[in-house]
Structure 1
């Protein structure tokens, strides 16, 4: 299938509706709006500036920043100049930043809003040209506004072939050193176009861009998707202003990740406990009022399309939201497949707990071992400067995803864990943790969970409770015991958990227990709690900070 490539699609939008609002950026609580024509002109100026520095086609240019209008514009500018973008997570540590800059041989780096300047200060060499976005950030040789004023718009933009490289996206490194995924214009165009046609868009549609743009899903399902379905984008000023910014935007499409969906859920339940909420939802007329009030409090009263991706989400969480009229379509994809490859779109209640069906730009099948294999226009061709990893990743032209899957009778797909996540208990039996973690998610007080137990007689689960329940109480212990009993009753004998351990700390990017995309770093979690695997615990449900007391 032929796809109009991103730059051609951008040009089409600029020619069709140059004055239509496109990007909405908050700064110091004031909103600035850029039209399609203004975005195009700024991108052409930045492209002209890059070429004026002596950089040539194929040079790698890094972007190290939280989401902003300037991030989008930089991405388009790098394409216009014929160069290759290298996004870096704004939360990346010094070692990761250093590795990506060295491995990609980046010639310059755009630096924007960051929660902490320390890692960048340590890892970015002074010899590398730094361009500062117009926000407080690291010291840079060049200011964004200076380039916009100094350089004229580039007249002749790069006209790439479909198989030319558009970007190097480094994996989030949940299992080791990040690998550079080489993505072509065809890869990202096919994924973004197919994402744009999943749901019919309406003239006033808009969405938020707040999940990391260094992640391929935000790039292809939000940024580049808007080229093919030109909707408005609102950015977020900071974590503190997140809800206010969502309420300002009132998005009609909203994508999040499981960690944030469970946080939103905990906020609702803190105001309206589960039993009372379910009772109110059973009362005619009143239930509609309750649903509207909750959605309005979250800023999602205008949202038609909801999505979740990046990591597995509990089917019970999806059902809980569905009872509020919030129908979350779960999606699946990888950096190597240019983002969304499979999704529950259009939304179907019957497919809850699945990742739906494949997009048009890919085909999927299961290997004899149950591993998901995928090929198609959206699938990458190689890892950058890593032929060994590339050869290992493919079998007969199919990319080996490393995910274990299953196909339902209705044709929808399930992901049941990672091939390498299975562990063997002391009884010699294999346990897949993800399905058990999903079952524990029925308890809405559990925000995070990791099942482990390699070499143990029985597996156990370490959990993080929502903030209101983190301290020990007999009631919470009793509720967790009921959850443990209910889940164990559905498991085979070798899968049954002998303990739930309540962690004394939450897991996040800063303490190294989550990836930048909020996936569990299982190896780090096992190191963190490894001493508990061999320890004799008195009760089935225990609090980490009470063990040994």
Structure 2
């Protein structure tokens, strides 16, 4: 049963211990083995850390930053800070020192929990810029264990009970700084009411079930991962934290055998590429059609016609490999944070691994619309109207949201808050449409719309998404504002293009390979195929292949792998200019 009696998020771990007791809450790898923590174990850990924080001088309302990869300690620290009456401020572990300085300084954080000495060194570089920061505790340096030990030997349960009782449902809990595709990040203030609304929605939709095992590798600095960890505690679901190495995600999936997987599109796209490599296009298309037909019969609980069953037996070995990659018992997966193509979704549905798409943003607690197993439409981001959530499309096509999931505003930034909140309605900046069945489709970003020299409005994401379906392409960035036609900057997927180059007897280093006529011809075929899906004005007329991939290190990608469009345009302005020369 869900933890419905929690008044504020700080209550969650303690009420969950009473309700879920010795059920497994968290699972994590260490020394080659997976170790389990029950809900009671988690509550004890949180209580001891919270007591340690009180002794350290953390007061109600104080901001505490967490700079770490996703791991159980991250979640324990967050729950402990909340239990002590504080506010959590996540920082992506990939953040540069300057980005850390901005978030620490803007939030006024008094304490930072760093994962490693390497992360602490980044803070040391900018320590003079953040005078409010009093302490830095290192998880792997023994600092967190020491904090817990102090809290264990000197518990303050009455003090913690009083602090939790003083928390208001509309008080801030977490300040999530947006990844900042333009300008410095802004801190989205999310309240207890925001998170509890999200938890209640999870139960209402039967999205995460008590018997589920969720594999979590998403960064906890992102709202998507926060949804997963908090709703799992609320529903009594087991969360298996990844081991910290993205190269081991697939092997860990086979070990954990999750029933639910939240992910960004890139992971599904990579698995799709691996699973379909070597399968002729016509054969793949036929297999997907057969698989989709079978799933419709199964969803309606109807017996398969003999000819369809025979056809499925022939193609299912390909699908069986896909199911095995995910561990063999995946009930459903959720894709968010960026668009994913219908072709990829259809393939996984046909394979018996439903990948459903949802839509939300930090400002809406990651909630907005969602597809469910019971009601979904591939290519849409789902429906709305759950748990008093409201959504509408303005006259200019912008999606607006209203409800208890909408954030309280940007931290210390009333001007920016006023720009996006009007009479309780959140102006998302996303453009979309609602069909007759209530399903929402995202058509682009309001700020990203390209207006050509001929006055045509084009959403570049549609064209880019089509190009990225190619196994050879990692990223595509379309350009053409006030220009006569569209051009694109394209990067090669090293994992796929290098084996192809070897087979062709071509150079395997990307800078050299990107300049070869053979690679150019390969990508030209992809561009031609993508163009066939669009009207003439939306077609890419010229392109250039970059000699490296886009990266977070170069400031071109956010931590969730969204393209920072303006930075890419600025960094590679000369290449774009050459395409118009």
Q: Which residue of 2 aligns with 1:21?
A: 24
2:13–2:46 CA contact under 8 A, matched in 1: no
Q: What is the CA-CA distance between 1:269 and the residue it aligns to? A: 3.7
1:528 aligned partner: 571
Question: How far 1:197 sits from its partner (Å)?
Answer: 3.1
Deviation of the 1:526 alpha carbon:
0.6
For residue 324 of structure 1, report the CA deviation from its aligned partner.
2.2
Q: Is 1:286 the equivalent of 2:314?
A: yes
**Structure 2: gaps of 5 or more residues:** 291-310, 499-512
Tell me the equivalent position of 2:558: 515
Q: CA deviation at 1:231?
A: 0.7
Shift of 1:118: 5.5
Question: In the alignment, what sits opposite 1:383?
Answer: 410
The 1:34–1:402 alpha-carbon spacing in structure 2 relative to 1, beyond 3 Å, is same
| 8 A Cα contact 2:360 2:366, kept in partner | yes
2:240 & 2:144 partners in 1: Cα distance? 29
Match of 2:108 among 105, 111, 115: 105
Change (3 A) 1:312 1:249: same
Q: Deviation of residue 2 (structure 1)?
A: 10
Q: Counterpart of 1:42?
A: 45
Separation in structure 1 between the aligned mates of residue 156 and residue 34 of structure 2, nearest angstrom: 25
| Cα displacement string for residues 206-234 of structure 1 (whole angstroms, at most 9, x for unaligned residues) | 101210111111102x1111122111011
SS for the counterpart of 2:101 is: helix
Structure 1 length as normaliser, TM-score? 0.89
Deviates more, 1:195-204 or 1:404-413: 195-204
Contact kept? 1:24, 1:32, Cα under 8 Å: yes
Deviation, 1:516, is 1.1
Q: Which moved more, 1:283-292 or 1:457-466?
A: 283-292
Aligned length: 532
Q: Which moved more, 1:14-23 or 1:496-505?
A: 496-505
Write the deviation string for residues 480-530 of structure 1: whole angstroms up to 9, x where unpaired. Answer: 434433443443333221123322211222222110121110011112321
Partner of 2:84: 81
* 1:265-316 C-alpha deviation (Å, 9 max, x unpaired): 23334475656655777653132232122221x2341111111001111222
Distance 1:426 1:91, change over 3 A: same
Partners of 1:328 and 1:201 lie apart in 2 by 14
Distance in 2 of aligned mates of 1:113 and 1:246 = 26
**Pair 203,309 (structure 1): closer, same or farther in 2 beyond 3 Å:** closer
Measured against aligned partners, the alpha-carbon deviations of 1:343-366 in whole angstroms (never above 9, x if no partner) come to: 1123656x2111111243420111
1:130 alignment partner, one of 136, 146, 156: 136
Relative distance call for 1:195 and 1:404 in structure 2 (3 A) is: same
Alignment of structure 1 residues 390-469 onto 2, 5 Å: 390-467=417-494, 468-469=496-497
Distance 1:276 1:459, change over 3 A: same
What displacement does 1:375 show?
A: 1.0
Please state if 1:371 is matched with 2:402.
no
Residue 357 of structure 1 pairs with residue 383 of structure 2: yes
1:30-429 counterparts in 2 under 5 A?
Answer: 30-112=33-115, 119-124=122-127, 128-133=134-139, 135=140, 143-144=146-147, 146-147=149-150, 149-152=152-155, 154-155=157-158, 156-157=160-161, 158-159=164-165, 160-199=167-206, 201-220=208-227, 222-237=228-243, 238-270=245-277, 283-296=311-324, 298-346=325-373, 351-358=377-384, 359-429=386-456
Cα deviations across residues 382-438 of structure 1 (Å, max 9, x unaligned)? 211111111111223211111111111211011111111112223343322112222
Distance 1:191 1:423 in 2: 34
Per the alignment, residue 306 of structure 2 pairs with none
Q: Report the secondary structure of 1:339's partner residue.
A: coil
Where does structure 1 lack aligned partners over 5 or more consecutive residues? 539-549
Matches of 1:482 and 1:462, distance apart in 2: 15
